[in-house]
């Protein structure tokens, strides 16, 4: 019985070691927009939801000797919002929501990064619609590779939830079942970043 218990415990622990990943090599990594995605989801008519993404974004990830020795800076163009419906996207770009003409970018700057070997947590300042709030992104680091053609790359996936009213996005319309647009927004980010070549010393 004891031997069986030990074997069961070992089997349960095996995936943890089999999928363990080493932190990426130290350096600066530029977010590759072609292989990354900034998406969101918000409730619609209470019973459903609308999903969308931003097409124009950039960012820089600086990694030290450990993944915890990391900083992240990102910029997203609000006018690049895409929900697949042009009329809705134009409304979202208007002063009712993002007011893209006045606030062309939303930004994120990390203040603390932690990684316990499986869960990645990034705390930072998120600025949207002229308002800055602290948000916590939680997700995973999937590993790094060095491809002769694609370069050294690292992959991450994180998400968070915000209340859009905290950032001054308060437009809504009430119908019989409730508000047309939900207040809680789920933000999901998938990142593939490529390591920049070191700058040659003079």
For the record, the structure tokens of 38 come out as: 């900034």
Q: pLDDT digits over 128-141, tens only?
A: 999 999 999 999 99
- pLDDT tens per residue, range 28-37: 999 999 999 9
pTM comes to: 0.84
CB count in 10 Å sphere of residue 146: 11
90 or 49: which carries more pLDDT confidence? 90
From CA 128, how far away is CA 166, in angstroms rounded?
Answer: 9
Residue 47 corresponds to which tokens in the numbers above?
């019973």
What confidence category does residue 174 fall into, taking pLDDT thresholds of 50, 70 and 90? Answer: low
Per residue in 65-121, pLDDT (tens digit) is: 888 899 999 999 999 999 999 999 999 999 999 999 999 999 999 999 999 988 999
Closest Cα partner for 188 from 88, 58, 54, 45?
A: 54
């Amino acid at each position: 019985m004891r031997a069986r218990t030990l074997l069961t415990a070992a089997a349960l622990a095996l995936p943890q070691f089999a999928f363990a990943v080493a932190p990426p090599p130290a350096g600066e990594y530029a977010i590759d927009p072609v292989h990354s995605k900034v998406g969101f989801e918000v409730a619609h008519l209470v019973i459903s939801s609308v999903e969308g993404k931003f097409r124009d974004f950039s960012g820089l990830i600086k990694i030290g000797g450990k993944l915890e020795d990391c900083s992240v800076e990102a910029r997203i163009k609000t006018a690049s919002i895409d929900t697949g419906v042009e009329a809705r996207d134009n409304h979202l770009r208007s002063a009712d929501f993002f007011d893209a003409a006045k606030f062309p970018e939303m930004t994120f700057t990390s203040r603390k990064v932690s990684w316990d070997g499986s869960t990645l947590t990034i705390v930072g300042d998120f600025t949207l619609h002229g308002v800055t709030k602290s948000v916590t992104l939680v997700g995973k680091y999937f590993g790094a590779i060095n491809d002769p053609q694609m370069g050294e790359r690292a992959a991450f996936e994180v998400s968070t939830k915000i209340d859009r009213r905290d950032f001054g996005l308060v437009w809504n319309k009430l119908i019989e079942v409730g508000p047309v647009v939900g207040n809680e927004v789920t933000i999901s980010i998938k990142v593939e970043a490529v390591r920049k070549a070191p700058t040659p010393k003079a």
